[in-house]
Homo-oligomer: A and B are copies of this chain.
Amino acid sequence: MEIKDLQKAVDDWANQFEKPYFEPLSMMACLTEEVGEVARVMNNLYGDKKKKGDEEERHLEEELGDLLFSIVCLANSNKISLEDAITKKFEKINKRDINRWEHKTNNK
Residue ranges of A at the interface with B (Cβ–Cβ < 8 Å): 1-4, 6, 9, 13, 15-19, 22-26, 28-40, 42-43, 45-49, 57, 60-62, 64-69, 71, 74-75, 78, 80-90, 92-94, 101-104
Contact = CB atoms under 8 A, between A and B. Distances in A.
A64 B68 contact: no
A31 to B, nearest CB: 6
B71 A43 contact: no
Contacts of A49: 22, 26, 29-30
Contact of A84 (B16, B42, B61): B61
A86 B78 CA distance: 20
A33 B26 contact: no
A37 B33 CA distance: 6
Contact of A1 (B46, B47, B83): B83
A47 B35 contact: no
